[in-house]
Amino acid sequence: MKPTLLFVDDDADVSEAFSDLFEMAGWTVACARDGLEALDWLATHPPPEVVVLDLKMPTCDGYEFRRRQLADPRLKDLPTVVFTADAHVEAVHSSLLAAVPIVRKSAEFTQLLATIERVRGRPGG
């Protein structure tokens, strides 16, 4: 069975492009447009192998998603990778992002995939 990934990003073009890439790499992909949609999805589906999370989104951004994720015993240990275009995220790196890998949207897909495989406990990618 293919592993499942939840991709959380408000940009439909980004979500579609990365969904295609992940599916070609052997993943089943679910997409959410913001943190609230992601939390709703998580409440009604089995946990995915990993969440790929943008930070800057309307309604419920990545920081709020992480607050709620960490407060929920069912979700707090869910592997999460931040995928952001924010060049200054380290400057505001908060406890909400502690121990969460951060990959820039400008990175190669192979770097994102390797990071995802690492957080789910599979080296390489």
> pLDDT tens for residues 48-86?
999 999 999 998 999 899 999 999 999 999 999 999 887
User: What's the whole-number mean pLDDT along residues 96-115?
Assistant: 86
**Contact criterion met (CB below 8 Å) for 96 and 63:** yes
Strand ranges across the sheet with 28-32? 28-32, 4-8, 50-53, 80-84, 102-104
Parse the chain into domains and list their residue ranges.
Answer: 4-119
pLDDT band at 32 (very low <50, low <70, confident <90, very high): very high
User: What's the whole-number mean pLDDT along residues 26-37?
Assistant: 97
Residue 123 confidence (pLDDT) above 50: no
CATH of domain 4-119: 3.40.50.2300
Both tokens of residue 10? Answer: 């408000």
User: Average pLDDT over the chain, rounded to whole?
Assistant: 89
| pTM, entire model | 0.90
